[in-house]
Amino acid sequence: MRKILIAGNWKMNGSTAANEVLVSGIVAGVPEGDGFSLLVCPSFPYLASVAGMVAGSKVALGAQNVSEHASGAFTGETAPSMLKDVGCEFVIVGHSERRAIYGETSADVAAKFQAAQAAGITPILCVGETLEEREAGATEKVIDEQLDAVLDAAGADSFAAAVIAYEPVWAIGTGMTASPEQAQDVHKHIRARLATHNAELAEKVQILYGGSMKGENAPGLLCMPDIDGGLIGGASLKASDFLAIAEAAAQN
Ligand code: PEP
């Protein structure tokens, strides 16, 4: 039985004061149950302070990006060991905003994935197609290329310590959500592709859905057999919105 993970990607939002309100609200309202876990991913400057706020709670800490290098002359970058040092258990790699705005290639993403794991941090590998790619019937081809880059570099067994997030680019921050059936089809495809390498492991990997998930659509998405949680942007910035999704996870 795979546990549900509800992860908040705060993107470039927050402040010391706003984070305190958000995290204290989340920590105070975590629903009962042990079939799910919660994660928040603030911007780098706030990781250490949010680590203190979530300490001892059911909420874990993650980062939104990481360097593929261990240390050295890489101005502006953050090493995986630094994330570990301030209490991160997870890091998002390959978010579509990193791929599209910062030009990260699938090879870059694979290197970050490996660097995170080498430091003992669980990568959340994001994959997903644009609307143009979906309309051209290329969804599976795009996902396969993104997934295979990591499978080739890190090996299938590396997914024993990784999470995958299917995030259709057209659904991120747009208010458009993939229907539960559309998302399930892609999640099933991802699991089947992993299963061609290691069937036992494929059954265990958590595959999250991301793209305008909210309290209202979460129950329908989370009840699909291959959807094991959510990576949430907009609805992770208000405690009551994030907790509504956590509640759907607790009820699932
Ligand atoms: C995201 O950026 O990972 C995301 C899913 O954003 P939103 O929930 O706002 O669509």
**In the chain, what are the domain boundaries?**
4-251
User: Given pLDDT bands bounded at 50, 70 and 90, which one contains residue 1?
Assistant: confident
d(CA 24, CA 135) in angstroms, rounded, equals 42
Q: Which residue has the tokens 């099933």?
A: 188
136-179 pLDDT, tens digit per residue, is: 999 999 999 999 999 999 999 999 999 999 999 999 989 889 99
Q: Which of 68, 95, 97, 247 is catalytic?
A: 95
Task: Indicate which residue of 68, 129, 167, 247 is catalytic.
Answer: 167
Q: Cα(62)–Cα(92) distance, rounded to whole angstroms?
A: 7
The predicted model scores a pTM of 0.98
Q: What is the pLDDT of residue 21?
A: 98
The yes-or-no answer on residue 189 being catalytic is no
**pLDDT confidence of residue 18:** 98
Dihedral over alpha carbons 37, 43, 49, 52 (to 10 degrees) = 10
Ligand 1 touching residue 213 (CB < 6 A): yes
| Ligand 1 pocket test, candidate residues 41, 95, 172, most atoms within 8 A of CB | 172
Cβ of 233 below 6 Å from ligand 1:
yes
* Whether 69 is catalytic: no
230 lines ligand 1 (CB under 6 A): no
Q: Domain 4-251 class?
A: alpha beta
Q: Is 232 in the pocket of ligand 1 (CB under 6 A)?
A: yes
pLDDT in tens, 182-208: 999 999 999 999 999 999 999 999 999
For ligand 1, is residue 210 a contact (CB within 6 Å)? Answer: yes
- pLDDT above 70 covers a percentage of the chain that reads 100
Radius of gyration of the chain (CA): 17
Q: For the residues 209-233, what does the mean pLDDT come to?
A: 98
